[in-house]
Chain A
Amino acid sequence: MPLVKNGKTATDIFVHVADGAQLPGDGAVLVSAARFLEDPEGMLKRAGKLGVIWPNNRDVDDLVPYLDRLAVVALVFPTFRDGRAYSQARLLRERYGYDGELRATGQVLRDQFMFMLRAGFDALEAKKQSDVEAFALTSKRYSVFYQPTGDGRLTALHRRMQQRHSESAR
Chain B
Amino acid sequence: MYAYDELDRTLLNERVEEFRDQVKRRLSGELTEDEFKMLRLQNGVYLQLHAYMFRVAIPYGTLSSKQLRGLAHVARTYDRGYGHFTTRQNIQYNWIKLAELPDALASLAEVGIHSMQTSGNNTRNVTSDQWAGVAPGEIEDPRIWSELLRQYTTLHPEFSFLPRKFKFAITASAHDRAAIKIHDIGLRLHRNAQGEIGFEVLVGGGLGRTPFIAKTIRPFVHGRDLLSYVEAILRVYNQYGRRDNIYKARIKILVHELGVEKFAAEVEEEWRAMGESALTLDDGVIEEIRSRFSYPAYEKLPHMPEELKKAAQVPPFERWRRNSVFTHKVQGYSIVTISLKPVGAPPGDATAEQMDALADLADKYSFGEIRVGHEQNLALPHVAKRDLPALWKALDKLGLATPNVNLVSDIIACPGLDYCSLANARSIPIAQELTRRFANPDTAELIGRLHINISGCINACGHHHVGHIGILGVEKNGEEFYQITIGGRADEHAELGMLIGPAVPYGEVADVVEDIVEAYLALRERPDELFVDTVKRLGVEPFKERVYATR
A interface list, Cβ under 8 A from B: 59, 80-84, 86-88, 90, 95, 109, 111-112, 114-116, 118-119, 130, 141-149, 156-157, 159-161, 164
Chain B interface, number of residues (Cβ within 8 angstroms): 36
Q: Which residues of B contact A84 (CB under 8 A)?
A: 238-239, 243
Q: Are A161 and B158 closer than 8 Å at their CB atoms? A: no
Within 8 Å by CB of B162, from A83, A90, A111, A144, lies: A83
A80→B156 CA distance, assembly (Å): 15
Chain B residues near A160 (CB-CB < 8 A): 5, 7, 288
Which B residues are CB-close (under 8 A) to A141? 14, 17-18
Option from B157, B243, B273, B288 in Cβ contact (under 8 Å) with A95: B273
Chain A CB within 8 A of B254 CB: no
Do A156 and B18 touch across chains, with their CB atoms under 8 A apart?
Answer: no
- Do A114 and B17 touch across chains, with their CB atoms under 8 A apart? no
Q: Are A161 and B14 in contact (CB under 8 A)?
A: no
Residues of chain A within 8 A of B238, CB atoms compared: 83-84, 86-87
With contacts A83-B159, A95-B273, A160-B288 known, is A143 near B14, CB below 8 A?
Answer: yes
Q: Is the CB of B8 within 8 A of A156?
A: yes
Known: A143-B10, A160-B5. 5 other contacts (CB 8 A): A115-B157, A116-B157, A142-B14, A142-B18, A157-B285
A130:B30 contact, CB within 8 angstroms: yes
Q: How far is the CB of A39 from the nearest CB of chain B, in Å? A: 27
Chain B residues 1-32 with CB under 8 Å of chain A are: 5, 7-8, 10-11, 14, 17-18, 22, 30
Contact of A111 among B8, B22, B151, B235 (CB under 8 A): B22
Q: Are B151 and A83 closer than 8 Å at their CB atoms?
A: no
Secondary structure call for the B interface = helix
Q: Which residues of B contact A149 (CB under 8 A)?
A: 157-158
Q: Does B444 contact A (CB under 8 A)?
A: no
Minimum distance in angstroms from A116 CB to a CB of chain B: 8
Residue of B nearest to A146 (CB): B151
Cα distance, A81 to B30, chains bound together (Å): 19
Contacts of B235 in A (CB 8 A): 87
Residues on A with C-beta less than 8 A from B396 are none
Interface flag for B155 (CB, 8 Å): yes
- Whether A144 pairs with B157 at a CB distance below 8 angstroms is no
> Chain A residues with Cβ under 8 A from B35's Cβ?
80, 109, 111
Contacts of A130 in B (CB 8 A): 30
| Complex: A149 Cα to B160 Cα, angstroms | 14
Q: Which residue of A lies closest to B273 (CB)?
A: A95
Q: Taking the nearest CB of chain B, how far is it from the CB of A107, in angstroms?
A: 9
With a cutoff of 8 Å between Cβ atoms, the chain B residues found around residue A114 in the complex are 157
Q: Any chain A CB within 8 A of the CB of B522?
A: no
Closest to A159 in B: B7
A156, B38: Cβ atoms closer than 8 Å: no
7 pairs, CB–CB < 8 Å, chain A vs chain B: A80-B35, A80-B38, A83-B238, A109-B35, A111-B22, A144-B10, A147-B156
Residue of A nearest to B161 (CB): A83
B279 at the interface (CB under 8 A from A): yes
Q: Is the CB of A82 within 8 A of B158?
A: no
